[in-house]
Amino acid sequence: MSIQAAQAYLTRFGWGAQGKSLGITRMFQEADVAALKSLKAVAALRPRGVLSGFLVIAPPSPQTPTPICAFFPPVTGKQQPFVIRMRLAETLAKEGAIFSAYSDNGDIVLEDVLAWRGKALFQTAGFEERWRRVGEMLEMWVADEALQGCGIRFMEYMSLAELMALQELGERQVVEFVPLAAATKRMVWVPTEESAKTTVWHARREALVGPDIFSLWSDKGEKQPHLGLVRTLATSKMLRLHPVDEFRVNAAWNKMFERWEILGIA
């Protein structure tokens, strides 16, 4: 009965297998590249192949007189929903909340706040406002892994500039872009083997444009050179110290930013 009560609360807000099946995530597409340049968003790294479910804090109801906390895995998975015992302040326990969440190495990772204290949030509030509720939850929840039966932690987000500064992704990681606007789906970008292939290019430093701007061309003799993308401070420093303005570099196609990324000197 406990799981059914939590499922009913989830369905009430339009989520879950029995609700409207509202999705908050979609795959990153080619058409998103141009939009990403002007999109107000944050980013996160998450395990490859791990889908999101829900952590539900369901308030008391006529059928269930006590609050219920439960995790609902993604409907495509084989894992069954299970109850989690949480130490919560009375206010949150009586009013309820719904989080988008996924399971990672035995922990439940909370990544978004979909409903808070009995009110729908995803459809009406931007991500920054939704994520502020995490600070409120920290004041209403005492972490107790022994009682819970699992760890509960929060997703770590970064700016797009911080994402570009990363030297590499983990072998089993994907990138999730989270638009700041309300009711806007996340976009998951999965690196491919094609994006990791490196080739050798001729490079010329464009001093009149900027210190990290390079023109790239191959031995095929293109009519119009490409612009090289420099994403890390280490690569930038290496290129700036090169004694001549034209040299050969290793570069790989960065599908996310639609540019050749300079990885080092050939």
In whole angstroms, what is the distance from residue 246 CA to residue 224 CA?
A: 16
Domain(s) of CATH 3.30.470.30: residues in the chain: 2-189
Maximum distance among all Cα pairs of the chain, rounded to whole angstroms: 77
CATH for 2-189 is: 3.30.470.30
Q: Tell me: the pLDDT tens digits for 5-61?
A: 999 999 999 888 765 556 789 888 877 877 877 889 999 999 988 889 999 999 998
pLDDT of amino acid 29: 81
Mean pLDDT, residues 53-81 taken together: 89
Partners of 193 in the β-ladder = none
- Residues of the chain within CATH 2.40.50 domain(s) are 193-265
Whether residue 106 has pLDDT greater than 70: yes
More confident residue, 264 or 59: 59
Mean pLDDT along residues 80-90: 95
Q: Is 125 in contact with 182 (CB distance < 8 Å)?
A: yes
Confidence of residue 223 (pLDDT cuts 50, 70, 90): low
With H, G, I as helix, E, B as strand and everything else as coil, classify residue 73. coil
Name the CATH topology of 193-265: OB fold (Dihydrolipoamide Acetyltransferase, E2P) (2.40.50)
pLDDT at 205: 83
pTM of the model: 0.75
